[in-house]
Amino acid sequence: MTKGPSSSQETVLRLFPGPGGPVPLRGLYLDESLRPSGTPARPFVYASFIASLDGRISLPDPDTQTRKVPRAIANPRDWRLVQELAAAADVLVTSGRYIRDLAAGVAQDNLPVSDKPEFADLHEWRRARSLTPQPAVAIVTGSLDLPIPEALLHSGRRIYIATGAAADTSRTGALTARGVHVLQVGTGSRAEGRALIAALAKEGFGNIFMTAGSVLLNALLTAGVLNCLYLTQACRILGGRAFETLHTGEELNPPADFKLRSLFYDGGGNGGIDQLFGALDYVAPPTG
Ligand SMILES: NC(=O)c1ccc[n+]([C@@H]2O[C@H](COP(=O)([O-])OP(=O)(O)OC[C@H]3O[C@@H](n4cnc5c(N)ncnc54)[C@H](OP(=O)(O)O)[C@@H]3O)[C@@H](O)[C@H]2O)c1
């Protein structure tokens, strides 16, 4: 890290746990207390979301009409932290929908870790730890409608698809022929959360970063395999009728509980929007 905590542009305020005070934004989620530290024997499964005060994680993009992180809350300071979480990952778990958006040229961004110069330190961070240049990618899909771009196939990452055992074998065969590894992690057409994480751990992955949305989060939560939610709360109300929130699915019974690990206030350099960066650890319900 080259920059010190010299101005509010570069720092956020630690609110919890105390003692409070300014800390650098860069490196926040790579700090030992917050960075993912799973092993294949004990995988660490984490997700990251930015949500508005009224709970929107996505709205239709005005140009493409595809659902995206709302422009009114997407911002480079949160994106920096997402990139840090990706830098720590052994595998990124994404969705069939994201791959279709990528192929159609309407994806929000390329999969991290970004090659842009401002993230060069994250590539160095991986190199220093003898990690592969980029995390692997696991695409969760039921439809198998996956026009995986050649650029992604030849990006030097291991590419997996995770799907159910009922998957169309001609489609899985075609993907295998393109160098994709197929994980069958469900009995029907869908991937099941517990089997998905077990299969990724068996492939040697410890830090498993879920970058998809509320449907996959549901699969992980109902299986009780999510460990940590990194949640940015943007202090803005957006409205809009065609929106998604953090979770899609039946009412959770019991509810999924989380314990706050850390909270930071970001009031600097975000074009006037305040935001809170929280890390929340999943608390499994008592057994028996
Ligand atoms: N605000 C934020 O921080 C944030 C973060 C992440 C995502 N988002 C937004 O959330 C929206 C939805 O994201 P998303 O589509 O990537 O994720 P998603 O809603 O969790 O997943 C939907 C897609 O993933 C596949 N899928 C999910 N769970 C599956 C399962 N158990 N078995 C088989 N396939 C499964 C399906 O692919 P197939 O259709 O191929 O079967 C489906 O189309 C997007 O608008 C995105 O921008 C926002």
Q: Do residues 91 and 137 touch, judged by C-beta distance below 8 A?
A: yes
| Partners of 22 in the β-ladder | 13
249 Cα: distance to centroid of ligand 1 (angstroms): 12
- Spatial strand order in the sheet of 136-140: 21-24, 11-16, 257-266, 275-283, 228-234, 44-52, 207-210, 91-95, 136-140, 159-163, 181-184
Predicted TM-score of the model (pTM): 0.96
pLDDT in tens, the chain (288 residues): 333 334 557 999 999 999 999 999 999 999 999 999 999 999 999 999 999 999 999 999 988 888 999 999 999 999 999 999 999 999 999 999 999 999 999 988 889 999 999 999 999 999 999 999 999 999 999 999 999 999 999 999 999 999 999 999 999 999 999 999 999 999 999 999 999 999 999 999 999 999 999 999 999 999 999 999 999 999 999 999 999 999 999 999 999 999 999 999 999 765 678 999 999 999 999 886
Nearest to 33 by CA among 226, 232, 263: 263
pLDDT digits (tens, 9 = 90+) for 115-146: 999 999 999 999 999 999 999 999 999 999 99
Ordered by start, the domain boundaries in the chain are 47-282
Q: Do residues 41 and 225 touch, judged by C-beta distance below 8 A?
A: no
124 Cα: distance to centroid of ligand 1 (angstroms): 30
What is the position in ligand 1's atom list of the atom closest to the CA of 192?
31
The CA distance from 50 to 104, in Å, is: 24
233 lines ligand 1 (CB under 6 A): no
288 Cα: distance to centroid of ligand 1 (angstroms): 33
What is the position in ligand 1's atom list of the atom closest to the CA of 211?
6
Q: Do residues 56 and 3 touch, judged by C-beta distance below 8 A?
A: no
Phi, psi of 214 (to 5 degrees): -75, -20
The CA distance from 225 to 215, in Å, is: 14
141 lines ligand 1 (CB under 6 A): yes
Count of beta carbons in the 10 Å neighbourhood of residue 283: 10
- Which of 58, 161, 171 should be mutated for ligand 1, with most atoms under 8 A from CB? 58
95 lines ligand 1 (CB under 6 A): yes
Q: What token pair was written down for 53? A: 């005060």
Topology of the domain covering 47-282: Dihydrofolate Reductase, subunit A (3.40.430)
Query: What pLDDT sits at residue 3?
Result: 37
Count of beta carbons in the 10 Å neighbourhood of residue 149: 14
Nearest to 53 by CA among 272, 242, 273, 288: 273
Please tell me the residue having the least CA distance from ligand 1 atom 13: 213
